[in-house]
Homo-oligomer: A and B are copies of this chain.
Amino acid sequence: MAVGEYPFPVMPPVEGVSIGIAAAGIKKADRNDVLLFSLCEGASVAGVFTQNTFCAAPIKICREHLQLARPRLLVVNSGNANACTGSSGRANALSVCDQVASQYGLSAAEVLPFSTGVIGEPLPVGKINAVVPALVQSAQEDNWQLAARAIMTTDTRPKGATRQIEIDGTTVTVNGIAKGAGMINPNMATMLGFIATDVAIDQTVLQGLVREAAGLSFNRITIDGDTSTNDACMVMASGKAGNKLIADPHSDSYAALKAAVNEVCIELAQMIVADGEGATKFVTIDVKGGASHDECLKVAYAVAHSPLIKTALFASDPNWGRIVAAIGYAGVENLDDTLVRVHLNDVLIVENGGRAESYTEEQGQKVMSGERIGIHIDLGRGDCSERLWTTDLSYEYVRINADYRT
């Protein structure tokens, strides 16, 4: 199950970023499950990573390698997360880095490793290393759709988004792919996102850009409240577009690039929600009128994480009592319940501490029967607002997660 249609877009090549693909048989035979991004010399790479204490070995290595060298290769496998695998997990991830680095005459520190899949199983390092030559041979700049498919786990469809903009009179391309369907919660989702652009940009400036873009997109989606051990969002910039190097985050060039990257990231984040495990609804939660951004987020997450609201969404039941209950327990201090207003799409359902007089069950039912539902909450006590996206909770979610390892 998944909400809506998201046909994979036509993605132009990004000069200076080639992509190799191979089938290592990590979890299933004859399925592409390893991916190698190879970057031209001089490329900038920046990223944000999971906040989970039990982060996977490859995440720890990424953080270290980014301190040591400018990355030239990003190697990604699906089917195994190499998380909670202790010291052998680290050795395995480093072995893969070594293997791909040697093919290009680079050092292991110039390689960033990524893994996604089941936690706690040893990485089948022999299988991965065996396909490294195939990764190198298959490398092409227009392998984006194959790449998006190779990183899927419980995803039902590949996720890609693309934009082209003009900077300094030259065309700049921003491509992105992502995977993720469950264990989705901010900081970060169980997701991998790889954004590539041919823009020329300073590495430090790029780091600020990816942090902001992730904050507006991947960190604003939630499916089940679980935060993965393996999440990462990387932005690679080859510098081949021919624009003047972007070194000032207050420049027009930066603003134009940022807008394009944000759009790509938000589009990918929404695709992850729409493909949420067992999702039958795509839900936008807006909270405004807050005294702080923090309290807006508290309310938004309380609503987004409530299993009672999520099952009511699944049932297309306008059970607004569960929404106000969640607002009430979100932990906003001294909230005046008589000032809170709640709309379902454009239908006012709650005001003055109870059901709106104008509201009819028929109106609520009409909104809830749709596939896209907006829950708009006004706390009536300030000027801050926040938005996030989530899904319902269906039988299918339980089935997928009860069956995942079997």
Contacts and interface: CB of A to CB of B under 8 A. Distances in A.
Contacts of A314: 398, 402
A91 to B, nearest CB: 12
A48 to B, nearest CB: 15
A405 B329 CA distance: 22
The size class of the interface chain A forms with chain B is 35 or more
Interface string A301-329: 00001111001101101011110111111
A335 B53 contact: yes
A354 interface: yes
Interface stretch (A11-19, A25-33, A80-88): A80-88
Contacts of A404: 317, 319
B405 A327 contact: no
B398 A311 contact: yes
B402 A315 contact: yes
Interface in A350-365: 350, 352-355
Interface stretch (A220-228, A237-245, A246-254): A220-228
A321 B120 contact: yes
Contacts of A5: none
A381 to B, nearest CB: 12
Given A307-B393, A314-B398, 19 more contacts: A53-B335, A54-B340, A83-B321, A84-B354, A85-B354, A86-B353, A86-B354, A120-B355, A183-B308, A185-B329, A224-B308, A225-B307, A226-B306, A229-B321, A305-B305, A311-B398, A315-B401, A315-B402, A393-B398
A170 to B, nearest CB: 42
Interface of A: 51-55, 81, 83-89, 118-120, 182-183, 185, 187, 224-229, 305-308, 311-312, 314-315, 317, 319-322, 324-329, 332, 335, 337, 340, 350, 352-355, 393-395, 397-399, 401-406
Contacts of A225: 305-307
16 contacts: A53-B329, A54-B328, A54-B353, A84-B321, A84-B350, A85-B355, A120-B321, A182-B308, A225-B307, A226-B307, A226-B322, A228-B325, A319-B405, A393-B398, A395-B399, A398-B398
Contacts of A185: 329
A226 B326 contact: yes
Contacts of A305: 225, 305
Nearest to A400: B311
A337 B395 contact: no
Nearest to A321: B119
A324 B54 CA distance: 7
A55 B52 CA distance: 35
